[in-house]
């Protein structure tokens, strides 16, 4: 059990970068729901890595939630949190500094990044700009405008081709197999140095394949759904011999919500200098599912939701192909530390999670497109 300083959310200003991205939007909506006061600031450049209409849609959902909460508070005569959206780029140092100077956040959740393993093969500079330069600007801003806790997204990809399962934060992670993974590992190292030098409480979160409603179109469950609906074939990499620790987005949000309120303790060592207030956690389901099993459930849910007919020939729409550069065969989270320190482990089953994704997709498909 690592010692934590408990942070109360009352009257706090929380800056969430990467909202209205997938995880960020879900986190912000949850924060607006659970907080009684204070401010939630979203910061995102709304880039077009995938359809920005989806980011606009998530932003509209955040604004709906903020309005609902405000109306309820007005009826009850109580206070409520407010939401502010800033469109800005993390690699723009002045824009980041301005947001910190204006809002003086107590807690920062850095989720903004160029995500995706495959895209990093052809677009390496984007990763350096957003994930390295951008993250440096966040660290510098936290140094210049002290925060109670900086929480940032790392990734299960830092484990590379780790052979020991489940993946523990004690395992070695110095052989990334993609540039994306290398930038996420770099974030952990940069954060450690700032925690040590400037006594900034920092927690890195290694997320494992996050899925759910209004998710990312570049991820397998989403692109496979689109392909099957169009009548195209889906590619099963490594001839289908892959397993992923699929984690439902609400479970990720619950993990972030708990962890952000427990900052690593600040204390000095025998040399009179700070012991780095630094922690790392895996947030994953802890139950890897093989790709063929995953596809089977997705297909059943697409038929169940009447998006595809019961006699759809799935076999004819599958292509077994070799492993792609940058990919790993297995991911599997060890969540013992999360359970020990925060009494929490993800619990949403894959079928339930995919059912919610498919239900959302159906609505998105027919009402928003
Ligand atoms: N979804 C997953 O399975 C998963 C797994 C591991 C780690 N992560 C990490 O979690 C975080 C959130 O992921 P997500 O799935 O919500 O991705 P996402 O792409 O939906 O959200 C990221 C957001 O960051 C914004 N962004 C990117 N570069 C920016 C920049 N330079 N300045 C400002 N905004 C910028 C994008 O516009 C986007 O809205 C990312 O850091 C990602 O690397 C995600």
119 CA distance to ligand 1 centroid (A)? 13
331 contacts 243 by C-beta, under 8 angstroms: yes
Instruction: Answer positive or negative: Cα dihedral of 200, 41, 158, 91.
Output: negative
Distance in Å, CA 273 to ligand 1 centroid: 34
pLDDT of residue 163: 87
Ligand 1, atom 26, residue with closest C-alpha: 112
Rounded Cα distance, 166 and 277, in Å? 26
**DSSP character string of 96-123:** HHHHHHHH--SEEEE--S---STHHHH-
| Pocket-testing residue among 111, 137, 259, ligand 1, by greatest number of atoms within 8 A of Cβ | 111
**Catalytic member of 180, 248, 332, 344:** 180
DSSP secondary structure letter of residue 10:
T
CA of 111 to the centre of ligand 1 (A): 5
Report CA(21)–ligand 1 centroid distance (Å). Answer: 6
Strand partners, 17: 43, 110
Number of CB atoms found within 10 A of residue 270's CB: 6
Is 180 an annotated catalytic residue?
Answer: yes
> pLDDT over 90 for what percent of the chain?
96
First-to-final CA distance of the chain: 48
Please name the helix (run of DSSP H) or strand (run of DSSP E) that holds residue 239, with its range, or none.
none
pLDDT tens per residue across span 125-174: 999 999 999 999 999 999 999 999 999 999 999 999 998 999 999 999 99
| Domains of the chain, each with CATH number or no CATH | 4-214+246-286+332-339 (3.40.50.720)
Q: Whose CA is nearest to atom 38 of ligand 1?
A: 21
Index of the ligand 1 atom closest to the CA of residue 129: 31
pLDDT of residue 3: 84
Taking the whole predicted model, whether its pTM rises above 0.75 is answered as yes
| Tens-digit pLDDT profile for residues 270-313 | 999 999 999 999 999 999 999 999 999 999 999 999 999 999 99
């Amino acid at each position: 059990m690592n010692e934590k300083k408990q942070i109360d959310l009352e009257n706090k200003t929380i800056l969430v970068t990467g909202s209205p991205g997938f995880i960020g939007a879900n986190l912000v909506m949850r924060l607006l729901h659970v907080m009684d006061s204070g401010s939630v600031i979203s910061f995102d450049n709304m880039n077009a890595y995938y359809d920005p209409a989806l980011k606009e849609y998530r932003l509209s959902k955040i604004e709906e939630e903020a309005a609902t909460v405000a109306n309820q508070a007005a009826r009850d005569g109580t206070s409520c949190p407010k939401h502010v959206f800033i469109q800005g780029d993390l690699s723009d140092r002045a824009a980041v500094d301005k947001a910190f100077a204006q809002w003086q956040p107590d807690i920062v959740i850095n989720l903004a990044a160029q995500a995706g393993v495959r895209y990093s093969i052809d677009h390496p500079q984007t990763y350096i700009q957003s994930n390295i330069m951008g993250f440096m600007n966040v660290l510098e801003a936290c140094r210049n405008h002290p925060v109670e806790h900086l929480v940032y997204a790392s990734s299960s990809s830092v484990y590379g081709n780790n052979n020991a399962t489940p993946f523990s934060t004690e395992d070695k992670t110095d052989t990334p197999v993609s540039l994306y993974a290398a930038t996420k590992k770099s974030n952990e190292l940069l954060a450690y140095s700032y925690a040590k030098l400037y006594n900034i409480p920092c927690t890195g979160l290694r997320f494992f394949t996050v899925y759910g409603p209004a998710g990312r179109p570049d991820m397998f469950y989403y692109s496979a759904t689109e392909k099957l609906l169009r009548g195209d074939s889906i590619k099963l990499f490594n001839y289908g011999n892959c397993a992923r620790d699929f984690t439902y987005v609400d479970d990720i949000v619950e993990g972030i919500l708990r962890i952000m309120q427990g900052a690593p303790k600040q204390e000095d060592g025998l040399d009179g200098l700070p012991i780095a207030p630094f922690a790392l956690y895996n947030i994953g389901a802890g139950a890897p599912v093989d790709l063929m099993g995953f596809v089977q459930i997705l297909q059943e849910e697409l038929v169940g939701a009447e998006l595809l007919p019961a006699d759809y020939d799935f076999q004819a729409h599958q292509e077994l192909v070799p492993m792609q550069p940058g990919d790993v065969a297995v991911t599997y989270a060890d969540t013992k530390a999360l359970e020990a320190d925060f009494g929490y482990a993800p619990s949403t089953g894959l079928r339930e999670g995919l059912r919610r994704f498919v239900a959302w997709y159906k609505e998105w498909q027919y009402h928003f497109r």
